[in-house]
Amino acid sequence: MRFAFDLTAGSREFAHLLKQTAPAINYVGRRGGLIQYLECVEQTELDAQFTRPIGRDADPAEWGHRVSLDDFGAGASFDALNSFSATEIRRGVHRKFVETAIPLGVRNAGPGFVHYAAAPEGML
């Protein structure tokens, strides 16, 4: 799993803090999906293996899975996003939902399951 952060949208202090903090993160999600930090790579553009927001002018025939993903809102704070905090999370303030293209497609489906896979080589 690879994570990407838009460092141009934040301050230099944020970028520095993120680079210092990232190696210490060892799980993601409420149920503690364990991860291991490998490296920090800076890129000017992301390749097609990353998710991306879908704009109003998106091509409806674009390959991939379309889903609405939960993201930080303009008023997000640690207190509001901390699942152990009593602070009530408000949609549109602390969190927002972004229509997103995920570079996965349905490979197989059956009763009770759907198997998604990355695009075949050369499709993206």
Beta partners for residue 95, in sequence order: 72, 91
Q: In whole angstroms, give the CA distance from residue 88 to residue 50.
A: 31
Quote the DSSP letter at residue 88. P
Q: What average pLDDT does the structure give for the chain?
A: 82
Q: Which residue has the tokens 């998710």?
A: 51
Give the list of residues 6+ apart from residue 25 with CB closer than 8 angstroms, or none. 35, 37
Give the list of residues 6+ apart from residue 115 with CB closer than 8 angstroms, or none. 106, 107, 108, 109
What local confidence, expressed as pLDDT, does residue 60 receive? 58
Q: In whole angstroms, give the CA distance from residue 69 to residue 48.
A: 18
| pTM reported for the whole predicted model | 0.60
Question: For 2-43, what is each residue's pLDDT tens digit?
Answer: 888 888 877 889 889 889 999 998 888 777 788 899 999 988
What local confidence, expressed as pLDDT, does residue 5 receive? 84
Q: In whole angstroms, give the CA distance from residue 124 to residue 110.
A: 26
Extents of the domains making up the chain: 1-45
Question: For 47-80, what is each residue's pLDDT tens digit?
Answer: 878 888 887 666 655 667 788 888 888 888 888 8
Report the sign of the C-alpha dihedral through residues 44, 49, 52, 54, in that order: positive
